[in-house]
Amino acid sequence: MAQLAFYFDGTRCTGCKTCVFACKDKNNLDTGLAYRRVWEYTGGTTEKGADGTCTTSCFSYYTSVSCNHCDKPICMANCPQGAISKDDETGLMAVDAESCIGCGTCVNACPYGAPKVDPETVKAVRCDGCADLVAAGELPACVMACPARALKFGDAGAMAALGERGAVAPLPDPAETEPNYFMTPTADARAAGSDEGFIGNPLEVA
Amino acid sequence: MSKELSRRTFVQGSALAGLGAATLGGATLFGCSSELAETGADGKAEPAPVEEKIVWNHCAINCPGRCALKLHVVDDEIVRVETYAADSDDMDDIQPRACLRGRAYRAWVNHPDRINYPMKRAEGSKRGEGKYEQITWDEAIEIIARNYQEVIDNYGPEAVYMNYCTGNYGVTARPWFRLLNSLGNGYLAFYGNYSLAQLMWITPYIFGASVGAGSSLSAARDSDLVLMFGTSPVETRQGGAVSHHDYVAMREMTKGKIYVIDPRFNDSLAGRSDEWLPINPGTDAALVAAIAHELIANNQVDKEFLDTYCVGFDEATLPASAQGQHKSYQDYIMGTGYDKVEKTPEWAAPITGIAADKIRALAGEIAAAEALFVDQGWGPQRRSNGEMTGWSICMLPILTGNIGLPGTSNGLREGSYSVNLTSMPDGENPVKAKISVFSMVDAIDRGHEMTEKADGVTGVDQLPCDIKFVINYAGNCITNQNSDINWVHDVMSDESKCQFVLGSDILMTDSLKYSDVILPDLFRLEQPSMIGTGGDGGYMLAGSEPYAPKFERKSAYDAAALIAAALGKEEAFTEGKTQEDWLRECYETSREKDPELPTYEEAMEMGVYTRKNPAGAVIAMAEFRADPVANPLDTPSGKIEIYSEALADYIAAHEFADDDFVAPIPVYAPEWYGAETVTDEFPLQLSGFHYRGRLHSSWGGVEILKELNPQEAWINPADAAERGIEQGDTVRVENQFGAMELLAKVTPRVIPGTVACAQGAWHDADMNGDRVDKGGCINTLTTHRPSPFAKGNPQHTNICQVTKA
């Protein structure tokens, strides 16, 4: 089975969220729904001493993530309806709206929080890797949107040649689902599971 | 809102229903009318496939990005916004990819509050209340023409004013100056802008009028030390072929160490914390002075460059009028100048918040650099001491001779390589008087008192009258983007002052609520349009309308033509041409100047035309550096002026306040409301920054952007803890000018003692009630006092208190 994958260059990402909005436009997503998220992970301190001068150990970086079309899709394994499928030819995940009952099991199962339940249709929705564009020989909307050119998409082998499986905070340990998400971390990046920092933009990734 | 929801419901419904139906091409093939939505939502009727067309157009807001928009159009609706992108690993391939805002155009264009009809202020309502009733175009034009003529007859053309605006750019986008000139009377013009008024004013004194920017960011690839003062290139110009992309490309390729000197760990620092040098806002000049002290004390200035290319560094190159009076820059720095204070790192440390040893270390790195690239954003100069700060930052490349050579810049903001297009001509304005762009409301309030000596009026010694007729087109600079909104409201709502305000826009902005008549405008992308711009590489965008104007909306050109016709000047204004005729004619003029450009038809077909800089990079002032005698600067001495005799003369002939620190050399001037002048009542500094989810206030009313770009006050954990404030709390930020409420972002990404707030949020206050701005618009708290020289907007110069709301 072939598998498509995302590559994310953390050294290029500036956190602008153009990928998120290109995705929202392509998929007609209003407020309340986004298939891609950009996490800010921040830590350290910035302090002033008694003499008024400043010292800082602050670090901060962004990570753009959608559905990672995992090798071990825990969402699919847990779906009580068998509504989630992985395409044989592309490895891209999809939800069958007919069978989905909107129970949210996939939402809770996915350590990346990739699937969402559309509050209007009460069906699970998610990044499908822009399967229609990919079928037409194009690349996903997010990839072609990035002004800093931090995203790539292609055969998992080719993407894996560019970087490691994503394993930086606030992402989970990739061993859990084996995400098809390969990346180059920034100098500031902390390892998955780190407690050195915190989610700096909670309202933007809700 | 209901419209937006129904559209999404439908399109999603059809996408799901149509999965696998590849021949239909997915969701974007279907239209979005409410009728279809009902059909689609019930899932029974099979929507018939309709033809999709691709239309190129461009973004046109106040960002040199002006990125490419590839519109997918079905049944007169834009169903998807793509941009110009190629799957290429070459970072130098020019791709004006639209940013998040460009990708949110559908929500803006189809906003439920879009202005669709001409309107006049509702009977019995006061200006500023925002109550309007629909009228016909005929009635609107009659009211406008009548008021215009009355103002001309009663007060003269100096009472007519077209306000600064940044919501619509393109070669035919600004017909209003042409209209006012075509009417034969002219108007009171402005100088400067809200972006870089202070730096624009001072730069001619330093480098001459022909130097307006620094080297392109690509030049910094050859630098070994890059200093970014008060700037975040990835945030302020977010497109894929301007600073955002260019900065990312540069930092990947340069061998240089980068420092970003900013009160905020801005997004240009993301992932690169070792590059952050936090500084108190408004104190950059003190940092520069202390670095200069070290360079001078350690004999590390480039004396040969200073003697050959500059005047005023020391006594030897001062003009005769200044000699023997300890007026040189060196005297100022070393403590023998006018204030007799030696600018040591220990002096600068408590002012800047940067420890003396760090200043010494930075000075050492600067001295050791072979090619120093200094770049300043426009934040440091948008302050009460902005002229002096902007000039001071340029002193680092000047002192070290890092100007006009590979890998260097001159200390101004990064320059660009652009495709330049000719715009529709404005005509001749017979009125000589001008005011600073920031003085509009002042000139309504007390224009007849405003003078050349005290208020920066130019062309005349004193204004003959107040402003009585204002055109506010595609601009939000009456209140929202102007300063001291509460004061502006009082002036603008006093109908005995300004007689008439003509507003035209696409949404009801806060400023538009002060209109007497409102005309419904078109987006640039709804009209044939062209624009040229650039970053490291140049490009031109061209496009046509995706659909005919909807409702009773008209282009600004057509609206202005109707006003001209009502005043008997249609022929003078249009010369018998449509907007598209002008576009074509302007383009032919552009092609005469630049024959490499494609034909008009080709340009429209291509949508995007790109051009690499044949020189590789723009190196600012390279010709002057190569031969300063053959290529002198446009300054009185022909050299870089570190002491400006012209400025000394200006200072002697003008009036300043006691707390305006003015000098003919670049000094550190403590601010009115700054690091050294916080008070017990308002103990924090408050500084604005440009936000990713808006361009100033443009897109500020678009819900999908607001949701993921929340309006927040960045506050350091130490300042937050002292006030019992936690992440996500609603806080009140208050000072002597007003109060606003917004969410707290508690973060080590801002220096203690400073609150940072993205500018441009939509003002939302009950102006007849408590006036507390629930929108978090920083201009509720900014002063309308102009900067000393440029009379520009000092909108980052604020102090405040923050409390849990």
The answer, yes or no, to whether residue B212 has pLDDT greater than 90, is yes
Region B424-436: mean pLDDT is 98
Q: Are residues B440 and B513 in the same domain?
A: yes
Domain that holds residue B506: 119-187+424-523+543-598
The answer, yes or no, to whether residue B43 has pLDDT greater than 70, is no
Give a yes or no: residue B660 inside a domain: no
Q: Do B103 and A18 touch (CB under 8 A)?
A: yes
Q: Are residues B506 and B588 in the same domain?
A: yes
The answer, yes or no, to whether residue B719 has pLDDT greater than 70, is yes
Query: In which band, very low, low, confident or very high, does the pLDDT at B38 lie, cut at 50, 70 and 90?
Result: very low
Region B540-562: mean pLDDT is 98
Say if A97 is an interface residue toward chain B (CB within 8 Å).
yes
The answer, yes or no, to whether residue B28 has pLDDT greater than 60, is no
The answer, yes or no, to whether residue B106 has pLDDT greater than 50, is yes
CA–CA dist A153, A157 (Å, integer): 11
Residues of B in contact with A140 (CB under 8 A): none
Q: Do A18 and B100 touch (CB under 8 A)?
A: yes
CA–CA dist A103, A118 (Å, integer): 11
B749-779 pLDDT, tens per residue? Answer: 999 999 999 999 999 999 999 999 999 999 9
CA–CA dist B662, B677 (Å, integer): 17
Closest-CA residue of chain A to B28 = A26
Q: Which of B15-24, B115-124, B695-704 has the lowest mean pLDDT?
A: B15-24
Structure tokens at B291: 């670095």
Q: Do A58 and B268 touch (CB under 8 A)?
A: no
Q: Are residues B31 and B144 in the same domain?
A: no
Q: Are residues B10 and B155 in the same domain?
A: no
Residues of B in contact with A146 (CB under 8 A): 97, 240
Residues of B in contact with A149 (CB under 8 A): 91, 240, 245, 248
Region B645-669: mean pLDDT is 97
Say if A6 is an interface residue toward chain B (CB within 8 Å).
no
> Which residue matches tokens 């790195």?
B365
Residues of B in contact with A7 (CB under 8 A): none
Dihedral sign of CA atoms A174, A175, A176, A179 in order = positive
CA–CA dist B793, B781 (Å, integer): 13
A100-148 pLDDT, tens per residue? Answer: 999 999 999 999 999 999 999 999 999 999 999 999 999 999 999 999 9
Which of B:296-315 have CB within 8 Å of A?
none
CA–CA dist B795, B198 (Å, integer): 11
**What residues have CB less than 8 Å from B410, skipping those under 6 apart?**
B207, B211, B214, B215, B374, B394, B397, B398, B403, B404, B620, B621
Task: Spell out a b/e string for A34-72, using b for 16 or more CB atoms within 10 Å of the CB, else e.
Answer: bbbbbbbbbbbebbbeeebbbebebbbbbbbbbbbbbbe
Say if A16 is an interface residue toward chain B (CB within 8 Å).
yes
Residues of B in contact with A11 (CB under 8 A): 252, 271
Q: Are residues B577 and B631 in the same domain?
A: no
Helix (H, G, I), strand (E, B) or coil at A6: strand
Write a three-state SS string for B612-656: CCCCCCCCCCHHHHHCCCCCCCECCCCCEECCCHHHHHHHHHCCC
Q: Do A17 and B749 touch (CB under 8 A)?
A: no
CA–CA dist B65, B63 (Å, integer): 5
Q: In this predicted structure, what is the pLDDT of residue B253?
A: 98
**What's the CATH code of the domain at B761?**
2.40.40.20
Under a CB-based contact definition with an 8 Å cutoff, are residues B151 and B457 in contact?
no
The answer, yes or no, to whether residue A156 has pLDDT greater than 80, is yes
A170 cis-preceded (ω within 30 degrees of 0): yes
Region B488-495: mean pLDDT is 98
Q: Which of A13, A15, A54 sits opposite B752 (nearest CB)?
A: A54
- Give the minimum alpha-carbon distance from A39 to chain B in angstroms, rounded to a whole number: 11
pTM score of the predicted model: 0.95
Query: In which band, very low, low, confident or very high, does the pLDDT at B325 lie, cut at 50, 70 and 90?
Result: very high
The answer, yes or no, to whether residue B1 has pLDDT greater than 60, is no
Domain boundary (B109, B139, B155) is at B109
The answer, yes or no, to whether residue B104 has pLDDT greater than 70, is yes
Q: Are residues B593 and B641 in the same domain?
A: no
The answer, yes or no, to whether residue B19 has pLDDT greater than 90, is no
B44-99 pLDDT, tens per residue? Answer: 556 667 799 999 999 999 988 899 999 999 999 999 999 999 999 999 999 999 99
The answer, yes or no, to whether residue B4 has pLDDT greater than 50, is no
Q: List Cα–Cα distances, B764 to A29, B308, B512, B729, B777, in angstroms.
A: 26, 56, 13, 19, 8
Structure tokens at B459: 């062309």
Structure tokens at B244: 């955002």
CA–CA dist B53, B91 (Å, integer): 30
Q: In this predicted structure, what is the pLDDT of residue B63?
A: 86
Q: Are residues B225 and B140 in the same domain?
A: no
Say if B54 is an interface residue toward chain A (CB within 8 Å).
no
Say if A132 is an interface residue toward chain B (CB within 8 Å).
yes
Residues of B in contact with A189 (CB under 8 A): 271
Structure tokens at B127: 């200006």
Residues of A in contact with B244 (CB under 8 A): 14, 16, 147-148
Say if B750 is an interface residue toward chain A (CB within 8 Å).
yes
Under a CB-based contact definition with an 8 Å cutoff, are residues B515 and B479 in contact?
no
Q: B509: closest CA among B723, B310, B300, B777?
A: B777
What's the full length of chain A, in residues?
206
Give a yes or no: residue B662 inside a domain: no
Residues of A in contact with B750 (CB under 8 A): 46
Say if A89 is an interface residue toward chain B (CB within 8 Å).
no
With residues binned 3-state (H G I as helix, E B as strand, rest as coil), the percentages for chain B, rounded to 5, are 35, 15, 50
Q: What pairing do the DSSP bridges indicate for beta strands A37-43 and A59-65? A: antiparallel
Q: Which of A125, A136, A145 sits opposite B97 (nearest CB)?
A: A145
- Give the minimum alpha-carbon distance from A1 to chain B in angstroms, rounded to a whole number: 20
Q: Do B272 and A186 touch (CB under 8 A)?
A: yes
Q: In this predicted structure, what is the pLDDT of residue B47?
A: 62
Q: Do B270 and A26 touch (CB under 8 A)?
A: no
Which of A:148-167 have CB within 8 Å of B?
148-149
Say if B22 is an interface residue toward chain A (CB within 8 Å).
yes
Say if A107 is an interface residue toward chain B (CB within 8 Å).
no
Query: Mean pLDDT of all residues in chain B?
Result: 94
Q: Are residues B98 and B130 in the same domain?
A: no
Q: Do A120 and B270 touch (CB under 8 A)?
A: no
A66-99 pLDDT, tens per residue? Answer: 999 999 999 999 999 999 999 999 999 999 999 9
Query: In which band, very low, low, confident or very high, does the pLDDT at B32 lie, cut at 50, 70 and 90?
Result: very low
Q: Do A53 and B99 touch (CB under 8 A)?
A: no
Q: In this predicted structure, what is the pLDDT of residue A1?
A: 64
Helix ranges restricted to H, B216-344: 233-236, 243-253, 284-297, 303-309, 329-334
> Hey, what amino acid is at B178?
R
Q: Are residues B12 and B135 in the same domain?
A: no
Residues of A in contact with B270 (CB under 8 A): 13-15, 60-62, 186, 188
Say if A196 is an interface residue toward chain B (CB within 8 Å).
no
Q: What does DSSP assign to residue B331?
A: H
B293-320 pLDDT, tens per residue? Answer: 999 999 999 999 999 999 999 999 999 9
Helix axes B137-155, B556-566, angle to 10 degrees: 60
Q: Which of A28, A45, A147 sits opposite B239 (nearest CB)?
A: A147
Q: Which of B8, B16, B100 sits opposite A16 (nearest CB)?
A: B100
Region B504-528: mean pLDDT is 98
Residues of B in contact with A144 (CB under 8 A): 82-83, 85, 87, 97
CA–CA dist B611, B594 (Å, integer): 12
**What's the CATH code of the domain at B478?**
3.40.50.740
Q: B610: closest CA among B55, B54, B60, B92?
A: B92
Which of B:265-284 have CB within 8 Å of A?
265, 267-274, 276, 278
Q: Do A15 and B248 touch (CB under 8 A)?
A: no
> Hey, what amino acid is at A120?
E
The answer, yes or no, to whether residue B37 has pLDDT greater than 50, is no
Domain boundary (B81, B109, B137) is at B109
**What residues have CB less than 8 Å from B349, skipping those under 6 apart?**
A51, A52, A53, B290, B355, B356, B359
Closest-CA residue of chain A to B81 = A25
Q: In this predicted structure, what is the pLDDT of residue B27?
A: 33
Q: What is the number of structural domains in chain B?
A: 4
Q: Which fold has domain A4-69+127-204?
A: Alpha-Beta Plaits (3.30.70)
Q: Are residues B283 and B224 in the same domain?
A: yes
The answer, yes or no, to whether residue B20 has pLDDT greater than 70, is no
- Give the minimum alpha-carbon distance from A57 to chain B in angstroms, rounded to a whole number: 8
CA–CA dist B763, B512 (Å, integer): 12
Give a yes or no: residue B114 inside a domain: no
Q: Are residues B458 and B519 in the same domain?
A: yes
Residues of B in contact with A46 (CB under 8 A): 265, 278, 716, 748-752
CA geometry: angle at B679 spanning B676 and B682, to 5°?
115
Q: What does DSSP assign to residue B330?
A: H
Q: Are residues B142 and B105 in the same domain?
A: no
Q: Do A46 and B245 touch (CB under 8 A)?
A: no
**ipTM of the complex model:** 0.98
Give a yes or no: residue B150 inside a domain: yes
Q: List Cα–Cα distances, B537 to B221, B419, B621, in angstroms.
A: 15, 9, 19
Q: What does DSSP assign to residue B222?
A: G
